């Protein structure tokens, strides 16, 4: 009865919605504005070249006027004192010396592959060479150059740099476009954008009309978007013989790319770096009086060695050792150095080397070494912050008159970003704690010392268990080279590797391309939205094709969530999802919020899932932080916790007490602000793709209905679902595919003893030794039955196991009929008629 009553409730709500929605979902689709891809592409570089177009219409006169204007502007800048200074700097870059050769190679070849040391001027100079020479050419600037970057922060900072090198305001000739943000205008001829933006553009404009040059930067990173883009471009090149494609990279397997593009031309910009002295862990320890020696060599793969501390040497020198290095060594458990084969390298955990060793080296450099900035490569944002906190508590390094401590990672805002390029005052040592973003994308000018922890937080994907894993993984030898190279740009440098040489010897030469180590759902959707035919066939033409199983898993997932039909065609829902630049599950939640008029809380939740976790847990105040978080745990939902936290902050903001609120509740002010901004962006997105009009009130009739919000979360996250097995004062979790799973410790549900609903839907499953689920919300049967999965998959075929009582209930023919018809109607509403 209770289930029926609930189902009844949903049915009534749904019917009341239906009468409101005059058009069906599919009518909405066909009526959407034609340029509505949510990225505002109706201006700027993606249009046919201005000058060419206007010359056809208005004649040569206007063409000449515009291009003369641009030429005059360019020349005036180059002759001004600042311009001359800038030109002097630019001409000191190795890329500048190759300018003519590069331009001539571009004009002779449709595809050109260019490599050169990081910092030699590829990203900032090459696109400029093309732009400048086009402006100076007789026919005027008819070029439209797109330069893609794997990361937002790089696209923004490079475009700023290039605009300032040209003495222009960003958004005129030079602009940028990243997801939900951009600066460009009608006259933008050089656009830096993320690879994702260009891919999205390809949905509506397969031929990239008007674009004259595509520069794909940082291809050595082998990101999934770049690999995908290359397949699409390879198909496009024969249809657009005048389109130029330039691939750029720091270190590069040029042969691989060249043969992929039918023996395309390659070019290397000769670089110069000063020698860099390398110190592996054993050298660092030896410098400080310790020794790490090979104790036992097992002749297996020639790599298996066991390193142990030479205890005798240690005892002998103990008296000479400073307490700091002792701390460092205590933190590092050297038994863990027992080296095995490459596969088991990840057993060794660099975190246990601990911050103490880094701290020791930093102090050592600050006290005894010559001037020069220090760059520390860490694995991620969390350990960067933790290390920063630790360093600031130490007197030597926390003194701002001696040390300028800065951080550099992918999600910092542009203000912090600019700080890393700042030169410190005389006598002040700059220390930058960075992720591998500083490896090739961002060049910090004055680095002389590099500390390399040897790891990177990498995603990997276990196709067999259909599970993404997020573990710090060892970097490749190529990356080591890159990191080391950062020390020798301005003068001879020093590089400290925080691992022994034998670990380095076992590193892979190259990092595995992302396409081989991530889930492929979004990629498959993109392939479908670009109408590229069979997913498997398309992916088989990639530079390196992913495992068949991984492809099948992704297709299966998209079918379960209702984005693809049985024949692998995009459904209406699927088409909408391709227009929303976010993971399919978040897109689904938004769409649900629109259809069921509870958009406001869904905007908050989706935004909250797109930013860094707003709940902070400082190491030394863990208990207090957890207690603060538990105040948000009433709804048995991490998603509701975000919602409540945001609403609390928003209320406090009205009284200008937002900061205070965050401080008391251990919330990140930055995350709150980011959620606030993203909410508006996402609202513009759903508006742009024609799902809502600008009137926000009517999308919110049901915004206070917690059951409906729970349903939206379930609709988005299914099939991420596990059953709750309650036992007295504890519970365990199970999924059909994996058996037992565990709650991530930062979930609000991890501190509960009873979960009042039989299911938890979750954001993601992560493999870290055991399987953990992150970001969960408890949901009742009725919600799962109505909003879990798609009806075509059936409801009990292994994806979902109902509790026996409920199953019996649903086997009753009358109930089953009614249920089926409600599901069908819901499905019709959500999909199409």
Pairing of strands 292-297, 770-779: unpaired
CB 475 within 8 A of CB 508: no
HEC sequence for 620-655: HHHHHHHHHHHCCCCCCEHHHHHHHHHHHHHHHHHC
Omega within 30 of 0 (cis) for the link into 822? no
Stretch that binds ligand CDP, among 118-126, 205-213, 223-231, 364-372 (CB under 6 A): 118-126
Distance between CA 36 and CA 685 in Å, rounded?
A: 9
Question: How does DSSP assign 276-340, residue by residue?
Answer: EEEE-HHHHHHHTT--EEEEEE--STTT-EEEEE-HHHHHHHGGG--HHHHHHHHHS-GGGG---
User: Maximum CA pair distance of the chain?
Assistant: 88
**Cβ closest to ligand CDP, residue 161 vs residue 510:** 161
**Cβ closest to ligand CDP, residue 119 vs residue 614:** 119
User: How many angstroms separate the Cα of 229 from the Cα of each of 148, 212, 259, 434, 564?
Assistant: 10, 16, 17, 28, 22
First CA to last CA across the chain, in angstroms? Answer: 31
Angle at 477 between CA 476 and CA 483, to 5 degrees: 90
Q: Which does 128 bind (CB under 5 to 8 A by kind): ligand CDP, Mg ion, none?
A: none
Considering the complex, what minimum distance in angstroms separates the CB of residue 215 from ligand CDP?
Answer: 11
**Cβ closest to ligand CDP, residue 123 vs residue 526:** 123
Q: Tell me if 194 contacts ligand CDP by CB under 6 A.
A: no
Q: Measured at CB, which residue is nearest to Mg ion?
A: 123
Residue 47 tokens, joined: 């249009």
Stretch that binds ligand CDP, among 119-127, 134-142, 546-554, 596-604 (CB under 6 A): 119-127
Distance between CA 802 and CA 804 in Å, rounded?
A: 6
Q: Which does 501 bind (CB under 5 to 8 A by kind): ligand CDP, Mg ion, none?
A: none
Q: Which does 443 bind (CB under 5 to 8 A by kind): Mg ion, ligand CDP, none?
A: ligand CDP
**Which of 645-683 are b and which e, b meaning 16 or more Cβ less than 10 Å from the residue's Cβ?**
bbebbeebbeeeebeebbeebbbbebbbbbbbebbebbb
Considering the complex, what minimum distance in angstroms separates the CB of residue 250 from ligand CDP?
Answer: 6
Q: Tell me if 157 contacts ligand CDP by CB under 6 A.
A: yes
**Cβ closest to ligand CDP, residue 123 vs residue 763:** 123
Considering the complex, what minimum distance in angstroms separates the CB of residue 189 from ligand CDP?
Answer: 18
Stretch that binds ligand CDP, among 73-81, 107-115, 117-125, 368-376 (CB under 6 A): 117-125
The number of residues in the chain equals 833
**Cβ closest to Mg ion, residue 74 vs residue 123:** 123
**Cβ closest to ligand CDP, residue 91 vs residue 322:** 91
**Cβ closest to ligand CDP, residue 115 vs residue 671:** 115
Considering the complex, what minimum distance in angstroms separates the CB of residue 235 from ligand CDP?
Answer: 27
Helices and strands counted in the chain (H then E)? 36, 23
**Cβ closest to Mg ion, residue 162 vs residue 404:** 162
Binds ligand CDP by CB under 6 A, chosen from 137, 293, 445, 634: 445
Stretch that binds Mg ion, among 116-124, 331-339, 659-667, 776-784 (CB under 5 A): 116-124
Q: Tell me if 421 contacts ligand CDP by CB under 6 A.
A: yes
Stretch that binds Mg ion, among 117-125, 165-173, 549-557, 631-639 (CB under 5 A): 117-125
Considering the complex, what minimum distance in angstroms separates the CB of residue 102 from ligand CDP?
Answer: 12
**Which of 256-291 are b and which e, b meaning 16 or more Cβ less than 10 Å from the residue's Cβ?**
ebbebbeebbbbebebebeebebbbbbbbbeebbbe
Considering the complex, what minimum distance in angstroms separates the CB of residue 158 from Mg ion?
Answer: 7
Considering the complex, what minimum distance in angstroms separates the CB of residue 66 from ligand CDP?
Answer: 28
Binds ligand CDP by CB under 6 A, chosen from 44, 116, 574, 775: 116
Which helix (H) or strand (E) covers residue 460, if one does? strand 455-462
Q: Tell me if 91 contacts ligand CDP by CB under 6 A.
A: no
- Contacts with 2 (C-beta within 8 Å, 6 or more apart), sequence order: none
Q: Tell me if 161 contacts ligand CDP by CB under 6 A.
A: yes
Q: Tell me if 249 contacts Mg ion by CB under 5 A.
A: no
Site string for Mg ion, 679-718 (x = CB under 5 A): ----------------------------------------
Q: Which does 278 bind (CB under 5 to 8 A by kind): ligand CDP, Mg ion, none?
A: none
**Cβ closest to ligand CDP, residue 164 vs residue 552:** 164
CB 765 within 8 A of CB 468: yes
Binds ligand CDP by CB under 6 A, chosen from 212, 258, 406, 443: 443
Distance between CA 231 and CA 199 in Å, rounded?
A: 11
Q: Tell me if 123 contacts Mg ion by CB under 5 A.
A: yes
Q: Tell me if 417 contacts ligand CDP by CB under 6 A.
A: no
**Cβ closest to Mg ion, residue 120 vs residue 582:** 120
- Give the count of beta carbons closer than 10 Å to the beta carbon of residue 366: 17
- Contacts with 192 (C-beta within 8 Å, 6 or more apart), sequence order: 127, 147, 148, 149, 155, 156, 158, 159, 162, 174, 175, 176, 177
The 8-class DSSP code of residue 667 comes to B
Considering the complex, what minimum distance in angstroms separates the CB of residue 118 from ligand CDP?
Answer: 4
Binds ligand CDP by CB under 6 A, chosen from 120, 208, 230, 515: 120
Q: Tell me if 97 contacts ligand CDP by CB under 6 A.
A: no
Q: Tell me if 124 contacts ligand CDP by CB under 6 A.
A: yes
- Give the count of beta carbons closer than 10 Å to the beta carbon of residue 216: 24
Considering the complex, what minimum distance in angstroms separates the CB of residue 488 from ligand CDP?
Answer: 12
Stretch that binds ligand CDP, among 114-122, 222-230, 702-710, 763-771 (CB under 6 A): 114-122
Which helix (H) or strand (E) covers residue 105, if one does? helix 99-108
Q: Tell me if 823 contacts ligand CDP by CB under 6 A.
A: no
Q: Tell me if 249 contacts ligand CDP by CB under 6 A.
A: no
User: How many angstroms separate the Cα of 722 from the Cα of each of 565, 735, 751, 760, 775?
Assistant: 25, 4, 17, 5, 12
Q: Tell me if 379 contacts ligand CDP by CB under 6 A.
A: no
Distance between CA 59 and CA 79 in Å, rounded?
A: 31
Q: Tell me if 118 contacts ligand CDP by CB under 6 A.
A: yes
The number of residues that bind ligand CDP (CB under 6 A) is: 15
**Cβ closest to ligand CDP, residue 381 vs residue 421:** 421
Residue found under tokens 């493999």: 767
Distance between CA 799 and CA 740 in Å, rounded?
A: 15
Stretch that binds ligand CDP, among 122-130, 355-363, 552-560, 664-672 (CB under 6 A): 122-130
CB 768 within 8 A of CB 728: no
The 8-class DSSP code of residue 520 comes to -
Distance between CA 63 and CA 138 in Å, rounded?
A: 11
Q: Which does 267 bind (CB under 5 to 8 A by kind): ligand CDP, Mg ion, none?
A: none
Residue 287 tokens, joined: 């410098």
**Cβ closest to ligand CDP, residue 216 vs residue 642:** 216
Distance between CA 660 and CA 275 in Å, rounded?
A: 50
**Cβ closest to ligand CDP, residue 186 vs residue 418:** 418
Considering the complex, what minimum distance in angstroms separates the CB of residue 195 from ligand CDP?
Answer: 16
Considering the complex, what minimum distance in angstroms separates the CB of residue 444 from ligand CDP?
Answer: 9
Edge-first strand order for the sheet with 181-183 is 181-183, 174-178, 190-194, 145-149, 213-216, 244-249, 111-116, 265-269
Q: Which does 546 bind (CB under 5 to 8 A by kind): ligand CDP, Mg ion, none?
A: none
Q: Tell me if 93 contacts ligand CDP by CB under 6 A.
A: yes
Residue 567 tokens, joined: 């024949």
φ and ψ at residue 348, rounded to 5 degrees: -85, 125
The binding site for ligand CDP (CB under 6 A) comprises: 93, 116, 118-125, 157, 161, 421, 443, 445
Which residue ranges make up the site for Mg ion (CB under 5 A)? 123
């Amino acid at each position: 009865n209770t289930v029926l009553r609930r189902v009844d409730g949903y049915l009534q709500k749904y019917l009341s919605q239906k009468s409101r929605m005059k058009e069906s979902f599919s009518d909405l689709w066909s009526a959407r504005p034609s340029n509505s891809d949510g990225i505002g592409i109706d201006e700027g570089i993606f249009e046919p070249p201005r000058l060419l177009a206007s010359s056809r219409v208005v004649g040569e006169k206007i063409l000449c006027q515009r291009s003369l204007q641009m030429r005059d502007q360019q020349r005036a800048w180059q002759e001004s004192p600042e311009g001359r200074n800038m030109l002097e700097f630019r001409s000191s870059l190795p890329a500048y010396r190759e300018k003519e050769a590069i331009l001539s190679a571009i004009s002779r070849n449709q595809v050109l592959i260019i490599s050169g040391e990081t910092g030699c001027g590829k990203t900032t100079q090459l696109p400029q060479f093309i732009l400048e020479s086009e402006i100076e050419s007789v026919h005027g600037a008819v070029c439209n150059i797109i330069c893609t970057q794997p990361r937002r922060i790089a696209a923004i900072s490079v475009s700023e740099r290039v605009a300032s090198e040209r003495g222009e305001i960003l958004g005129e000739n030079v602009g940028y476009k990243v997801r939900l943000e951009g600066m460009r205008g009608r006259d933008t001829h050089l656009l830096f954008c993320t690879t994702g933006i260009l891919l999205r553009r390809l949905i509506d404009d397969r031929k990239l009309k008007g674009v004259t040059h595509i520069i794909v930067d940082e291809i050595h990173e082998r990101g999934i978007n770049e690999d995908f883009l290359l397949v699409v471009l390879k198909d496009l090149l024969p249809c657009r013989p005048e389109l130029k494609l330039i691939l750029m990279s720091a270190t590069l397997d040029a042969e691989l790319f060249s043969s992929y593009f039918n023996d395309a031309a390659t070019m290397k910009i000769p670089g110069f770096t000063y020698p860099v002295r390398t110190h592996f862990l054993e050298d660092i320890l030896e410098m400080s009086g310790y020794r790490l020696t090979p104790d036992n060599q097992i002749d297996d793969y020639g790599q298996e060695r066991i390193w142990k501390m030479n205890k005798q040497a240690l005892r002998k020198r103990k008296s000479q050792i400073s307490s700091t290095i002792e701390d460092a060594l205590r933190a590092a458990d050297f038994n863990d150095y027992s080296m095995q084969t490459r596969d088991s390298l990840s057993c060794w955990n660099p975190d246990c080397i601990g911050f103490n060793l880094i701290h020791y080296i930093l102090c050592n450099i600050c006290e005894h070494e010559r001037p020069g900035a220090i760059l520390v490569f860490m694995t991620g944002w969390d350990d960067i912050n933790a290390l920063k906190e630790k360093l600031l508590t130490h007197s030597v390094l926390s003194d701002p008159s001696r040390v300028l401590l800065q951080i550099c990672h992918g999600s910092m805002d542009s203000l912090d970003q600019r700080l890393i390029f700042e030169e410190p005052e005389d006598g002040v040592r700059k220390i930058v704690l960075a992720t591998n973003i500083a490896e090739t994308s961002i060049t910090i000018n004055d680095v002389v010392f590099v500390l390399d922890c040897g790891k990177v937080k990498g995603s990997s994907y276990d196709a067999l268990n259909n599970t993404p894993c997020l573990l710090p993984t060892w970097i490749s030898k190529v990356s080591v080279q890159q990191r080391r190279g950062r020390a020798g740009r301005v003068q001879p440098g020093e590089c400290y590797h925080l691992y022994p040489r034998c670990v380095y010897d076992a590193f892979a030469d190259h990092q595995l391309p992302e396409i081989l180590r991530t889930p492929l759902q979004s990629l498959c959707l993109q392939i479908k939205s670009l109408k590229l035919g069979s997913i498997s066939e398309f992916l088989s033409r990639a530079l390196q094709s992913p495992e068949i199983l991984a492809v099948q898993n992704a297709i299966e997932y998209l079918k379960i969530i209702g984005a693809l039909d049985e024949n692998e065609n995009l459904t209406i829902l699927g088409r909408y999802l391709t227009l929303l630049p976010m993971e399919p599950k978040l897109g689904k939640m938004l769409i649900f919020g629109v259809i069921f008029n509870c958009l406001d809380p869904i905007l908050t939740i989706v935004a909250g899932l797109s930013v860094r976790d707003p709940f902070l847990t400082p190491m030394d105040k863990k208990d207090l932080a957890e207690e603060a978080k538990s105040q948000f745990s009433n709804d048995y939902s991490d998603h509701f916790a975000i919602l409540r936290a945001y609403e609390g902050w928003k209320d406090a903001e009205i009284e200008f007490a937002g900061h205070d609120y965050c401080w008391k509740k251990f919330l990140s002010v930055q995350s709150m602000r980011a959620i606030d901004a993203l909410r508006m962006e996402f609202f513009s997105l759903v508006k742009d793709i024609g799902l809502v009009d600008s009137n926000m009130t009517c999308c919110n009739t049901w915004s206070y209905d917690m059951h409906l919000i729970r349903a939206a979360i379930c609709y988005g996250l299914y099939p991420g679902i596990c059953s709750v097995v309650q036992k007295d004062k504890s519970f365990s979790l199970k999924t059909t595919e994996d058996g037992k799973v565990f709650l991530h410790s930062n979930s609000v549900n991890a501190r509960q003893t009873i979960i009042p609903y039989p299911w938890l839907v979750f954001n993601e499953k992560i493999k870290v030794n055991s399987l953990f689920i992150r970001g969960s919300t408890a949901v009742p049967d009725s919600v799962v039955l109505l909003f879990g999965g798609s009806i075509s998959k059936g409801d009990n075929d292994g994806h979902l196991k109902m509790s026996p009582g409920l199953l019996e209930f649903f086997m009753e023919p009358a109930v089953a009929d009614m249920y089926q018809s409600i599901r069908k109607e819901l499905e019709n509403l959500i999909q199409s008629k």
